[in-house]
Amino acid sequence: MCFICSGNEPNCQAAKRPNGQMAIMFHSSIIMQRRLLLALGLCLLIGRAQAQLIGGEEDEEEEEEEEEEEESIEDETPEEKLQRKNIKQDSNLTVDKLIAKYGYQAEVHYVTTEDGYILTMHRIRNSGAQPFLLQHGLVDSSAGFVVMGPNVSLGYLLADHNYDVWLGNARGNRYSRNHTTLDPDASKFWDFSWHEIGMYDLPAMIDHVLKVTGYKKVQYAGHSQGCTAFFVMCSMRPAYNDKVVSMQAMAPAVYAKETEDHPYIRAISLYFNTLVGSSITEMFNGEFRFLCRMTEETERLCIEAVFGIVGRNWNEFNRKMFPVVLGHYPAGVAAKQVKHFIQIIKSGRFAPYSYSSNKNMALYREHVPPRYNLSLVTVPTFVYYSSNDLLCHPHDVESMCEDLGNVTGKYLVPLKEFNHMDFLWAVDVRKLLYSRMLQVLGKQSPAKDVEGEVKGLRIRGRAIGLHAN
């Protein structure tokens, strides 16, 4: 593995942790206690409500399955024992170590944004190949694109298809919890939404990838908020349209008119400020994983809570892999990011964060923030969506497509039960989704800037803080 910094040396060194691992802050403070209670409350509220809606038949079926699993442990084959061992290991490995474990060349890069946030990028290196940037959704991290393992997760599949894969981590998640001057435990650090991710994080990561590889353009794929931030970037900083070959938009969280009728989202939006208050600025950076791992019952409630929000699909859910998912997800988020999505749901407008009327006037010269102009997004965009995505309703996605500047195609996943997280976690995601994406990508490949590639090699050679393991 390789650790490469981009920025001045003190900032790079500050971003590192012993053995290349990022420290996951978990403080026993009053704020943390409130965050724990909030996470527990959400799990109990949504999990139990969802279970009651479905009824007891599936509960009985799952109890039988669990009993069968317990009995099968005694009769495990060597292959099954190895799988169980891998699941335990994979739930505790950092993304770079996870990539290296499965035989891929892993690198860790640190990138500093214009406003001082230090971001971590994970790379599945294929030197000389077309660079491909993957950007995760809300409360997720780069792990989302590798967590289900080789032959399933998109990061590995793209590497297998000869792409130089770069996995981004937005500010505030467990891998990008750092800044040149701000303390991550101070509220000022968390004064951002996904608007800043689009304005600063994505441009910094794209520029870094192009600088290192020497290519003029990257391929890009985003999931959920990874699409939201991308469209912010291209509409607010249009020059970046020319730095992207194409955008593969999975479950794009942009318009949310239909989401307003989602019972749990409506409840969260109504009571979010009351539950969170002004003291909680960071959410889901360890407390959710801690609660879900306590007992089998809390794990079940967590699964039901996730299904209650994103859509229920037991047939495509790999229960055995859930401990791996919990080891990496959720990965932390600013409360302001959630509030910004709630504003979109309530207002029906895809627009920057709305403050008081006076502050809006100072920032936007209008009492209400102006909408993002999606017609300025000229990157060729292929959109992937599903019928059972409770966060990105098909009607909202189709409305978004009408407003985007260059939609080259749409693909409605044929499985009706396919939900918001199935884009990453589904058992058959390769067959249902990624095979189609790879077909789309196979039709486009820009010429490489040979001179730039040479420059990129020199840049890597003199990179600050280069360590080889």
Cα-Cα-Cα-Cα dihedral of 41, 46, 47, 49, to 10°? 120
Which two structure tokens, joined as six digits, stand for 33? 């206690």
Average pLDDT, the chain: 82
Residue 250 sits at φ, ψ, to 5 deg, of: -100, 125
The one-letter code for the residue type at 305 is: A
Which two structure tokens, joined as six digits, stand for 201? 């994080």
Strand order in the sheet with 2-6: 407-412, 381-385, 244-250, 218-223, 130-135, 163-167, 118-124, 106-112, 2-6, 464-468
Residue 131 sits at φ, ψ, to 5 deg, of: -70, 140
Q: Quick one: what percent of the chain has pLDDT higher than 90?
A: 59
Q: Is the pLDDT of residue 181 over 80?
A: yes
Q: Which helix (H) or strand (E) holds 339?
A: helix 335-347
The arithmetic mean of pLDDT across residues 47-67, rounded, is 49
Q: Is the pLDDT of residue 129 over 70?
A: yes
Q: Is the pLDDT of residue 32 over 60?
A: no
Among 78-82, 214-218, 220-224, 246-250, name the one with the lowest average pLDDT.
Answer: 78-82
Select from 67, 21, 230, 18 the least CA-distant residue to 133: 230
Q: Give the separation between CA 301 and CA 292, rounded to whole angstroms.
A: 8
The arithmetic mean of pLDDT across residues 164-186, rounded, is 97
Catalytic residues: 224, 420
Among 20-34, 127-141, 274-288, 328-342, name the one with the lowest average pLDDT.
Answer: 20-34
pLDDT, residue 43, reads 52
Structure confidence by residue, pLDDT tens digits, 409-448: 999 999 999 999 999 999 999 999 999 999 999 987 554 5
Which two structure tokens, joined as six digits, stand for 177? 């919890």
Q: Is the pLDDT of residue 328 over 80?
A: yes
Q: Give the separation between CA 370 and CA 352, rounded to whole angstroms.
A: 7
Report CA-CA distances (Å) from 402 to 125, 204, 374, 398, 409.
36, 29, 9, 7, 11
Among 58-72, 196-210, 230-244, 310-324, name the one with the lowest average pLDDT.
Answer: 58-72
> What would be the CATH architecture of the domain defined by 2-19+31-71+78-468?
3-Layer(aba) Sandwich (3.40)
The arithmetic mean of pLDDT across residues 133-146, rounded, is 97
Q: Is the pLDDT of residue 56 over 50?
A: no
Q: Is 328 helix (H, G, I), strand (E, B) or coil?
A: helix
DSSP result, 153-201: SHHHHHHHTTEEEEE---TTSTTS--BSSS-TTSGGGG---HHHIIIII
Q: How confident is the model at residue 374 (pLDDT cuts 50, 70, 90)?
A: very high
Q: How confident is the model at residue 8 (pLDDT cuts 50, 70, 90)?
A: very low
The arithmetic mean of pLDDT across residues 232-247, rounded, is 98
